[in-house]
Amino acid sequence: MPTEPLPDLAPDFVPFATAALDFHRAINMPVAPVAASRTELDSLHAHLVALYGLLDAHTARTSPVAAAEGDHLRACRIRLWQAAEHLHAAYHAAPQRLTGRLPTREACRAHLPEGAPDLTVCQRHLATAARVRRAHTPADLRDPFTGLTRH
């Protein structure tokens, strides 16, 4: 079945984003073992959520015309969300910005927001979680292995 040619695409910025991450790692990561700061974890969470959105768009466009490729993209999208969930949890387990104190065990269990600017990561996470819940079942999101089952 012939397909229409793709329209001219805008310059691809993904390689620049990849290079920026590599550059950031090269110049900003200390050699000594040091825990990631909340600022770094927040930035990484924002990056993963944006990448989830990009893969979501690719998955929606690809799945109707290429089932196997669409399934792999869907599995990748689920894994990215799982990684974002872990980053969100790591953010709240990290020392607080102003006091440097670790959250108490009770505060971690309560999952209470800590106020601005710490609430920003939670707002981003909740907004994306609403999209994720519409696109995936709870079983999909908790499955230890996603994809590669149909093809």
Mean pLDDT, rounded, for 64-85: 90
Percent of the chain with pLDDT over 90: 26
**Looking at this protein, which amino acid is placed at residue 85?**
E
Residue 70: what are its φ and ψ, rounded to 5°? -60, -40
Nearest to 46 by CA among 115, 128, 112: 128
Amino acid 15: pLDDT: 86
| pLDDT(115) > 70 | no
| pLDDT(76) > 60 | yes
Give alpha helix (H) positions in the chain. 14-28, 38-62, 67-93, 105-110, 119-135, 138-142
Amino acid 10: pLDDT: 65
Instruction: Name 145's Cβ contacts closer than 8 Å, sequence gap at least 6.
Output: none
Residues 21-44 pLDDT 10s: 899 888 988 888 888 888 899 999
HSE value, Cβ hemisphere, 13 Å, CA-based, for 50: 8
> What's the rounded Cα separation, in Å, for the pair 113 and 122?
7
> What's the rounded Cα separation, in Å, for the pair 149 and 21?
32
Average pLDDT across the chain, whole number: 81
Mean pLDDT, rounded, for 113-125: 72
Is residue 79 within 8 Å of 146, Cβ to Cβ?
yes
| pLDDT(146) > 80 | no
Which tokens hold the place of 126?
Answer: 């909740």
